[in-house]
Amino acid sequence: MSKNAYREHMQNVPLLSGLDTRELDEVIDITTDISVPAARILIKEGASVQEMIIVIDGNLEVTRGGQHVANIGPGGFAGEMALLTDSPHNATVAATVDSRVLHIEGGAFDVLLKRVPAIAVKMLPIVASRVTKPDDHSA
């Protein structure tokens, strides 16, 4: 996928929609495009690995304590809370069908935020809204 295609996709992701073109390009530079087979676990509840995923194609299921919490489709994301707060993931996220996701590794994200702190400030309202909603499905 071209950088323009990634940018267009990411502009439709609520967490990233407030970023300008330069900031989006900075995020794109640290993402990895991954094809994921159905049933693969991407994020494990309780794991302290700092990472975030954004769905390009397919569907992911979020479970907490083995119970279904939500489905995440294209444009959806998971792992942002653990990534931003350096805390363990509070849910498991697995592909329900063959899917394609963008993966953001925590160390690279930390370096990015030190270089461009405005990104975190722009992401904060979306993250805060997910924390305060009773049906929160972040992982």
CATH number of the domain encompassing residue 14:
2.60.120.10
Q: First-to-last CA distance in the chain?
A: 26
In tens, the pLDDT along 38-96 reads 999 999 999 988 899 999 999 999 999 999 999 999 999 999 888 878 889 999 999 99
pTM for this model (two decimals) = 0.86
In a domain, 67, yes or no: yes
Domain containing 111 equals 3-132
In a domain, 124, yes or no: yes
Cα–Cα distance for residue pair 116/120, rounded to 1 Å: 8
In a domain, 137, yes or no: no
Q: How many domains is the chain partitioned into structurally?
A: 1
List the one residue out of 1, 6, 42 whose CA is nearest residue 24. Answer: 6
In tens, the pLDDT along 96-133 reads 999 999 999 999 999 999 999 999 888 877 777 766 66
In a domain, 138, yes or no: no
In a domain, 79, yes or no: yes
In a domain, 139, yes or no: no
Cα–Cα distance for residue pair 128/118, rounded to 1 Å: 16
- Partnered with residue 99 across adjacent β-strands are 36
- At how many degrees (to 10) do helices 118-132 and 106-115 cross? 120
- At how many degrees (to 10) do helices 21-29 and 3-11 cross? 110
Q: Phi and psi (nearest 5°) for 114?
A: -70, -35
